Amino acid sequence: MSVTLHSSLRIGRYELAHRVVMAPLTRMRASEPGSAPTSLNARYYGQRASPDGLIIAEATQISWQGKGYPRTPGIHTDEQVAGWKGVVDAVHDKGGLIFLQLWHTGRISHSSHRPDRGLPVSASAITPAGQAFGSAFERLPYETPRALDTEEIPEVVEDYKRAAARAIFAGFDGVELHGANGYLIDQFLQDRTNNRTDQYGGSIANRVRFLLEVTDGLINVCGNERVGVRLSPFGTVGDIGDSDPLRLFAHAIEALSARRIAYLHLIEPRANAGVRDEANLDAPASVAALFRRAFKGPLIASGGFTKLSAEAELKSGTVDAIAFGRAFIANPDLPHRLAIDAPLNAFDRRTFYGGDERGYTDYPALASLRGVA
């Protein structure tokens, strides 16, 4: 029988009932100040949970230094852990599974997000093009980041490890390292943002070192079966780029494969990570196809999939699961709708980032549309 979105799949130590994964989605609705998840956030995730279905919770900063946007959650204070417990419980109550995406934004930040007003840090002191978000959602010029000293790097690895330990304490089933979309890990990986001369810069092996040290740290805390990694080869979000992405990402992905992590999660670059609607046609048609053979474990792909294109990818063996982003924002019962070929609610881009329950917890499920629930 051929594989469909509703075939089961083993990921790490878990047996998923279906392959409709909820992609990590920043919604900027945590408390401010405090960056803690709220009962509204718990309601949102609970609505999107399904028995033995996998949710990857939104990008979550590992430290104040890692914060880059207003009202994004953290996992480095007791208050934040308590908030996440509420989210995890809401998902587990419905029999679902939930991983937390661990995030350090690096240079895609602004000093106003940090209690100490310290400059954003990065691999090198290279200013991103574009504009930062200030703490009141205002747009500000990016500051030139401070390059991390070699001696500071183990401290950042420790921040990732502490965040993972807190995530497990809050009840998460695992963690996903956010190595995508031009944030700190990506800033070390790619040579547009890394011109270091120490053991973290220069050769591909050196630029991949930080990703692998963090991954090894997370494995140390959680076990390899509870660690996934997300990458966005050939992506351009966050003013990122590399002179030889094929060799760079093949090296990184082979090294991750050898560590037998729970899964690799790739963002298809043509979908522009959902940040813009137009396609990036300069990118390869499918990075999942490009790197499939470099990774031996489960591969999740994300970016612009429909049920039809998702099932074609699954059937061809290019990927093992699909993470849906915008469709999951607008359809709390997406796995069910896809199973019965029900029409989907349309998403409203205006309420993606920030705000209240509107465009967040008020998208109807099928049962409520029919007046059943």
Ligand X SMILES: Cc1cc2nc3c(=O)[nH]c(=O)nc-3n(C[C@H](O)[C@H](O)[C@H](O)COP(=O)(O)O)c2cc1C
Active site residues: 183
Going by the DSSP 8-state scheme, the letter that residue 17 receives in this structure is S
Looking at beta carbons only, is 100 or 147 nearer to ligand X?
100
Q: At what angle do helices 153-170 and 204-222 cross, to 10 degrees?
A: 30
3-class state of residue 37 by DSSP: coil
Q: Two tokens at 136? A: 């009141």
CB 21, min distance to ligand X, A? 10
| Stretch of 21-29, 129-137, 216-224, 358-366 lying at the interface with ligand X (CB under 6 A) | 21-29
Asked whether 252 and 266 are in contact (CB, 8 A), the reply is: no
Looking at beta carbons only, is 50 or 181 nearer to ligand X?
181
User: Nearest-CA neighbor of 28 among 356, 326, 276?
Assistant: 356
| Stretch of 41-49, 290-298, 303-311, 334-342 lying at the interface with ligand X (CB under 6 A) | 303-311
| Stretch of 156-164, 210-218, 298-306, 363-371 lying at the interface with ligand X (CB under 6 A) | 298-306
Residue 2: which residues within 8 A CB-CB, separation 6 or more? 315
3-class state of residue 157 by DSSP: helix
Instruction: Please identify which residue in the block is written with the tokens 């494969």.
Output: 257
Looking at beta carbons only, is 147 or 218 nearer to ligand X?
218
Give the one residue of 121, 250, 261, 327 binding ligand X; rule: CB under 6 A.
327
Give the one residue of 24, 37, 96, 106 binding ligand X; rule: CB under 6 A.
24
| Stretch of 117-125, 134-142, 306-314, 319-327 lying at the interface with ligand X (CB under 6 A) | 319-327
Instruction: Please identify which residue in the block is written with the tokens 């996903």.
Output: 176
Taking residues 352 to 371 in sequence order and writing x for each that binds ligand X by CB under 6 A, - otherwise, the string is: x-------------------
26 binds ligand X (CB under 6 A): yes
Q: Across the strands, what pairs with 15?
A: 10
CB 203, min distance to ligand X, A? 27
d(CA 73, CA 30): 5
| Stretch of 12-20, 24-32, 75-83, 218-226 lying at the interface with ligand X (CB under 6 A) | 24-32
302 binds ligand X (CB under 6 A): yes
Taking residues 75 to 114 in sequence order and writing x for each that binds ligand X by CB under 6 A, - otherwise, the string is: --------------------------x-------------
Looking at beta carbons only, is 147 or 236 nearer to ligand X?
236
Cis peptide before 73 (omega within 30 of 0): no
Asked whether 369 and 337 are in contact (CB, 8 A), the reply is: no
HSE at residue 233, side-chain half, CA atoms within 13 A, is 24
Residue 196, sorted as left (phi over 0), alpha (psi -120 to 50) or beta, turns out to be: beta
Looking at beta carbons only, is 65 or 351 nearer to ligand X?
351
* E-state strands within the chain: 9-11, 14-16, 20-22, 54-61, 97-103, 121-122, 131-133, 139-141, 146-147, 174-178, 227-231, 263-267, 299-302, 321-324
Buried b (16+ CB within 10 A) or exposed e, 69-78: bbbbbbbbee
271 binds ligand X (CB under 6 A): yes
CB 322, min distance to ligand X, A? 8
Q: With CB under 6 A, what is the number of residues at the site for ligand X?
A: 24
User: Nearest-CA neighbor of 65 among 119, 102, 129?
Assistant: 119
Ranked by CB distance to ligand X, the top (closest) residue is 274
264 binds ligand X (CB under 6 A): no
238 binds ligand X (CB under 6 A): no
Taking residues 273 to 292 in sequence order and writing x for each that binds ligand X by CB under 6 A, - otherwise, the string is: xx------------------
Give the one residue of 45, 84, 324, 360 binding ligand X; rule: CB under 6 A.
324
Looking at beta carbons only, is 147 or 287 nearer to ligand X?
287
Residues lying near ligand X in the complex (CB under 6 A) are found at 23-26, 58-59, 101, 178, 180-181, 230, 267, 271, 273-274, 302-305, 324-327, 352
